[in-house]
């Protein structure tokens, strides 16, 4: 019996293997690739000039600007929060640590529409703080601040979730070594901590950015859909589509499609980099208890 | 005085890691903290380094009170058990780190840093590895880089946490001897933590044996081996036979063993135990006075010594150790009856 035949005997029969693979690929093609192609095909259905016109239209430009603004505010805040949460959870033991870990996932667990409604409840005209804020000249819901708040809410777990496992795996020894060697807090962060987590941080930023730019539900609730003022790209796509302007809708949607492709490419590059440099968890197999090293006596 | 530690107490939640521990290490001395896991030895080391704060007590380094001083300002060299090398930096940059993070006014220039790092890498025999990453080095090499990095800041004291714990037996032996020679050359006040008694006895000028957060005994390797202060010390420093019994009227009665014990001349009996090491027995085929006989169960010959496992007539197991030629002269087989007489007995009253 040849080795190939023997190998075939030991695993599933060929038709089964092929069937399963074909099923997986078929799903990907049907639900991911075909729609993406359809978006671009529709966008260019009336030619390049119509495409350019749809994108250059003032309301579309305003939507793009608002999307960039919301992401531009949400993502940096995300980084700050993610680093703080990652540091706290990865390096300290404290009461409520587990609770914090669970709460970070809240935006994933809650429907985006509900998160949007929460902000309406808090800051709307008849909300808890809404009347006071409107009296003092702060319009939050149905205005740009509401959109920024909703975007922050739905995107904030991403950076933290990427950083926490890395911080936990690396532990505190390198920071302790740096401290004994005379490094101050900032030096310690810039020279030791940041280089160790930079890829995870970047990965989290990319994911957070994709979510921030693509978010529909939460933003839709707080936006009020005022054209040229409170519409982000996804909302603008919806409006155009509802007006039976399919070509323009797909043209704007293709911008988001490009964002998705860029995100995927960056993600692949970062994953390749991380694989080459080796994950920190692999480099250290032995865990150390905070007060005493485990050692075989 | 190199290091002076007074009345340190440290608790983690309900776990008491250190109970009123005091220790002094003379300048240039090499001291081992020896004990099982959880005995508090690493905690003591970390408190000396400033990585952990004691609940009470003080730490004095080179005559200066360092209790409230940040780890950053203590000028100690610390070698971590798993080395804690900066994984994203080259070997050279790892060693240079302590110099580079100094305030500008105290920082040597680039040429001087280069000279110092190269000198240290030569000292640990790794100058040819300067451009490598820590992940490309073997365990023993990482250990030496960690040592060079700790020495780069010209520390007043050197602290090592299980310095050979993660290495295999041969590398461990080599590195141990090398570290002893290095210490003899540079005479830096050093403290190292270990759970390996052989390591502590071979390497250190003085050994502090720790258990449950207290120092049970603090003395030269000869002291702790020949004159163990507590039952724990004698049990921890190798295999020992224990005979339970009592002391009364200046005598100790431990089953079939009877010894003089003038320390307790009282007629009030007290529970006690007698301890004898395996190599402290005389073994013969004829009765020799102690009246302790046993049946040979197992013989294992490792190197120059032969280990005997005997089932004692008193019901307990006896471990004895003989030289190989002595054992051959005896000519015994498992199942034979032998008489064992301890040459040395240490009695501890409970």
Residue A296 pLDDT exceeds 50: no
Question: Considering only A68-72, A272-276, B190-194, which range has the smallest mean pLDDT?
Answer: A272-276
Residue B268 pLDDT exceeds 90: no
DSSP run (H or E) holding B297: strand B293-302
pLDDT computed for residue A277 by the predictor:
59
**Chain A residue at shortest CA distance from B106:** A182
- Complex confidence, ipTM: 0.83
Q: Nearest by CB to A292, which of B37, B87, B135?
A: B37
C-beta separation of A217 from A225 below 8 A: no
- What is the mean predicted confidence (pLDDT) over A19-26? 93
Rounded to whole angstroms, how far apart are CA atoms A187 and A95? Answer: 28
Rounded to whole angstroms, how far apart are CA atoms B307 and B327? Answer: 9
Is residue B219 within 8 angstroms of chain A, CB to CB?
A: no
Q: Nearest by CB to A283, which of B39, B87, B97?
A: B87
pLDDT computed for residue B110 by the predictor:
92
Question: Which B residues in the span 90-149 are in contact with A, Cβ-Cβ below 8 Å?
Answer: 97-98, 101-102, 135, 149
DSSP annotation of B85 reads -
| Sheet with B64-65, side-by-side order of all strands | B15-25, B3-12, B56-61, B64-65
Q: Tell me which chain A residues have a C-beta less than 8 angstroms from the C-beta of B157.
A: none
DSSP run (H or E) holding B333: none
Q: Nearest by CB to A180, which of B37, B40, B71?
A: B71
C-beta separation of B315 from B297 below 8 A: no
Cβ-defined contact of B42 to A291 (cutoff 8 Å): yes
DSSP annotation of A171 reads -
Site from A290, A293, A294 to mutate, B interface, most B CB atoms within 10 angstroms: A293
Is residue B72 within 8 angstroms of chain A, CB to CB?
A: yes
Q: What angle do CA A245, A251, A253 make, to 5 degrees?
A: 100
CA of A52 vs chain B CAs: smallest distance (Å) = 46
Closest by CA to B81, choosing from B119, B29, B33, is: B33
Between A11 and A264, name the one with better pLDDT.
A264
DSSP run (H or E) holding A267: helix A246-277
pLDDT computed for residue B150 by the predictor:
94
Banded model confidence at residue A3, pLDDT cuts 50, 70, 90: low
Rounded to whole angstroms, how far apart are CA atoms A296 and A110? Answer: 46
Residue B100 pLDDT exceeds 90: yes
pLDDT computed for residue A289 by the predictor:
31
Residue B316 pLDDT exceeds 70: yes
pLDDT computed for residue B275 by the predictor:
93
**Chain B residue at shortest CA distance from A175:** B84
Rounded to whole angstroms, how far apart are CA atoms B212 and B235? Answer: 14
Banded model confidence at residue A2, pLDDT cuts 50, 70, 90: low
Q: Tell me which chain B residues have a C-beta less than 8 angstroms from the C-beta of A288.
A: 81-82
Question: Considering only B22-31, B212-221, B322-331, which range has the smallest mean pLDDT?
Answer: B322-331
pLDDT computed for residue A282 by the predictor:
37
What distance separates the 2 farthest-apart alpha carbons in chain B?
80
**Chain B residue at shortest CA distance from A279:** B87
CA of B281 vs chain A CAs: smallest distance (Å) = 26
pLDDT computed for residue A136 by the predictor:
82
pTM for the model: 0.78
Cβ-defined contact of B80 to A278 (cutoff 8 Å): no
How many Cβ contacts (< 8 angstroms) between chains A and B? Answer: 101
Alpha helices in A44-123, H assignment, sequence order: 47-56, 58-91, 97-104, 106-109, 112-123
**Mean pLDDT, chain A, as a whole number?**
83
Q: Nearest by CB to A286, which of B38, B82, B102?
A: B82
Question: Considering only B268-272, B299-303, B317-321, B345-349, which range has the smallest mean pLDDT?
Answer: B299-303
Residue B288 pLDDT exceeds 80: no
Is residue A194 within 8 angstroms of chain B, CB to CB?
A: no
B121-169: per-residue pLDDT in tens?
998 889 899 999 999 999 889 999 999 999 999 899 999 999 888 788 8
Cβ-defined contact of A286 to B71 (cutoff 8 Å): no
B13-62: per-residue pLDDT in tens?
899 999 999 999 999 999 999 999 989 999 999 999 999 999 999 999 99
Between A270 and A8, name the one with better pLDDT.
A270
**Chain B residue at shortest CA distance from A284:** B82
Q: Nearest by CB to A293, which of B77, B87, B161?
A: B161
For chain B, give the percent of residues with pLDDT over 90: 56
Residue A8 pLDDT exceeds 70: no
Site from A292, A294, A296, A297 to mutate, B interface, most B CB atoms within 10 angstroms: A292
For chain A, give the percent of residues with pLDDT over 90: 18
pLDDT computed for residue A142 by the predictor:
84
Residue B192 pLDDT exceeds 90: yes
CA of A3 vs chain B CAs: smallest distance (Å) = 37
Counting other chains too, the contacts that B296-303 makes at CB distance below 8 Å and 24 or more residues apart are: B296/B332, B296/B333, B296/B334, B296/B335, B296/B336, B296/B337, B296/B338, B297/B334, B298/B334, B299/B327, B299/B334, B301/B327
C-beta separation of A148 from A70 below 8 A: yes
Q: Nearest by CB to B135, which of A177, A196, A278?
A: A278
C-beta separation of B35 from B23 below 8 A: no
Between A291 and B271, name the one with better pLDDT.
B271
Cβ-defined contact of A181 to B97 (cutoff 8 Å): yes
CA of B194 vs chain A CAs: smallest distance (Å) = 9
Closest by CA to B120, choosing from B87, B89, B88, B98, is: B98
pLDDT computed for residue B212 by the predictor:
95
Cβ-defined contact of A288 to B82 (cutoff 8 Å): yes
pLDDT computed for residue B290 by the predictor:
65
Dihedral of CA A70/A73/A77/A82: which sign?
positive
pLDDT computed for residue B51 by the predictor:
93
Is residue B38 within 8 angstroms of chain A, CB to CB?
A: yes
C-beta separation of B91 from B130 below 8 A: yes
Is residue A286 within 8 angstroms of chain B, CB to CB?
A: yes
Radius of gyration of chain A (CA): 24
Q: What angle do CA A286, A288, A294 make, to 5 degrees?
A: 85
Rounded to whole angstroms, how far apart are CA atoms B84 and B92? Answer: 15
Residue A14 pLDDT exceeds 90: no
Cβ-defined contact of A283 to B42 (cutoff 8 Å): no
Q: What angle do CA A277, A281, A287 make, to 5 degrees?
A: 145
Residue B193 pLDDT exceeds 60: yes
Q: Tell me which chain A residues have a C-beta less than 8 angstroms from the C-beta of B84.
A: 173-174, 176-177
Residue A287 pLDDT exceeds 60: no
Q: Which two tokens stand for residue B101?
A: 């993070």
Q: How crowded is the C-beta side of A1, counted as CA atoms within 13 Å? A: 8
Q: Give SS3 for A181.
A: coil
Q: Tell me which chain B residues have a C-beta less than 8 angstroms from the C-beta of A187.
A: 101
- What is the mean predicted confidence (pLDDT) over B78-95? 93
Banded model confidence at residue B191, pLDDT cuts 50, 70, 90: very high
**Mean pLDDT, chain B, as a whole number?**
90
Is residue B87 within 8 angstroms of chain A, CB to CB?
A: yes
Q: Between helices A144-155 and A58-91, what is the axis angle to 10°?
A: 40
Q: What is the distance between the terminal CA atoms of chain A, rounded to a whole angstrom? A: 51
Alpha helices in A126-193, H assignment, sequence order: 130-135, 144-155, 157-170, 173-180, 185-188
Is residue A3 within 8 angstroms of chain B, CB to CB?
A: no
pLDDT computed for residue A284 by the predictor:
35
pLDDT computed for residue A4 by the predictor:
67
pLDDT computed for residue A266 by the predictor:
86
- What is the mean predicted confidence (pLDDT) over A184-207? 90
Residue A295 pLDDT exceeds 60: no
Cβ-defined contact of B51 to A180 (cutoff 8 Å): yes
CA of B314 vs chain A CAs: smallest distance (Å) = 30
Banded model confidence at residue A172, pLDDT cuts 50, 70, 90: confident
Cβ-defined contact of B72 to A195 (cutoff 8 Å): no
């Amino acid at each position: 019996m040849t080795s190939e035949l023997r190998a075939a005997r030991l695993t599933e029969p060929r038709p089964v293997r092929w069937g399963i693979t074909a099923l997986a690929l078929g799903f990907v093609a049907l639900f991911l690739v075909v729609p993406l192609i359809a978006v671009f095909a529709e966008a260019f259905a009336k030619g390049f000039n119509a495409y350019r016109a749809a994108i250059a239209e003032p309301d579309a430009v305003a939507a793009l600007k608002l999307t960039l603004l919301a992401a531009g505010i949400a993502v940096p805040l995300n980084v700050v929060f993610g680093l703080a949460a990652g540091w706290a959870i990865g390096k300290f033991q404290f009461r409520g640590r587990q609770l914090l870990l669970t709460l970070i996932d809240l935006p994933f667990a809650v429907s985006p529409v509900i998160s949007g409604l929460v902000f309406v409840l808090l800051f709307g005209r008849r909300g808890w703080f809404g009347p006071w804020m409107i009296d003092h000249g702060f319009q939050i819901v149905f205005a740009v601040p509401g959109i920024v708040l909703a975007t922050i809410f739905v995107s904030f777990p991403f950076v933290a979730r990427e950083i926490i496992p890395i911080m936990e795996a690396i532990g505190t020894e390198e920071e302790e070594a740096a401290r004994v060697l005379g490094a101050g807090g900032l030096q310690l962060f810039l020279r030791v901590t940041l280089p160790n987590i930079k890829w995870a941080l970047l990965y989290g930023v990319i994911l957070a950015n994709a979510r921030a730019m693509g978010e529909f539900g939460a933003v839709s609730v707080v936006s009020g859909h005022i054209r040229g003022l409170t519409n982000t790209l996804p909302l603008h796509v919806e409006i155009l589509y509802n007006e039976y302007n399919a070509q323009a809708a797909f043209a704007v949607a293709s911008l988001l499609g490009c964002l998705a492709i860029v995100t995927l490419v960056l993600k692949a590059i970062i994953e390749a980099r991380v694989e080459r440099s080796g994950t920190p968890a692999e480099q250290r197999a032995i865990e150390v208890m905070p007060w005493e090293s485990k050692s075989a006596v | 005085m190199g290091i002076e530690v007074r009345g340190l107490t440290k608790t983690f939640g309900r776990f008491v890691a250190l109970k009123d521990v005091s220790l002094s290490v003379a300048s240039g001395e090499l001291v081992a903290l020896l004990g099982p896991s959880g005995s508090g030895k690493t905690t003591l080391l970390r408190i000396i380094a400033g990585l952990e704060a004691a609940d009470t007590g003080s730490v004095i380094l080179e005559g200066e009170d360092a209790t409230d001083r940040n780890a950053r300002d203590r000028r100690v060299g610390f070698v971590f058990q798993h080395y804690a090398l900066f994984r994203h930096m080259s070997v050279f940059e790892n060693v240079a780190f302590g110099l580079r993070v100094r305030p500008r006014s105290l920082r040597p220039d680039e040429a001087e840093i280069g000279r110092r790092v190269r000198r240290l890498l030569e000292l640990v025999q790794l100058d040819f590895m300067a451009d490598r990453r820590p992940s490309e080095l073997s365990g023993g090499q990482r250990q030496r880089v960690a040592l060079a990095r700790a020495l780069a800041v010209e520390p007043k004291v050197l602290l090592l946490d299980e310095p050979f714990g993660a290495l295999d037996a041969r590398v461990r032996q080599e590195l141990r001897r090398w570290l002893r020679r290095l210490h003899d050359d540079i005479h830096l006040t050093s403290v190292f933590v270990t759970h390996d008694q052989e390591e502590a006895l071979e390497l250190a000028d003085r050994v502090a044996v720790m258990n449950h957060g207290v120092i049970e005994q603090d003395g030269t390797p000869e002291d702790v081996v020949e004159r163990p202060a507590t039952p724990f010390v004698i049990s921890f420093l190798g295999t020992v036979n224990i005979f339970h019994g009592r002391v009364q009227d200046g005598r100790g009665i431990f089953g079939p063993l009877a010894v003089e014990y003038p320390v307790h001349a009282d007629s009030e009996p007290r529970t006690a135990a007698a301890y004898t090491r395996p190599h402290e027995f005389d073994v013969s085929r004829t009765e020799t006075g102690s009246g302790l006989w046993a049946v040979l169960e197992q013989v294992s010959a490792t190197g120059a010594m032969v280990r005997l496992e005997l089932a004692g007539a008193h019901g307990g197991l006896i471990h004895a150790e003989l030289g190989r030629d002595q054992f051959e002269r005896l000519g015994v087989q498992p199942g034979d009856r032998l008489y064992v007489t301890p040459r040395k007995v240490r009695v501890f009253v409970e």
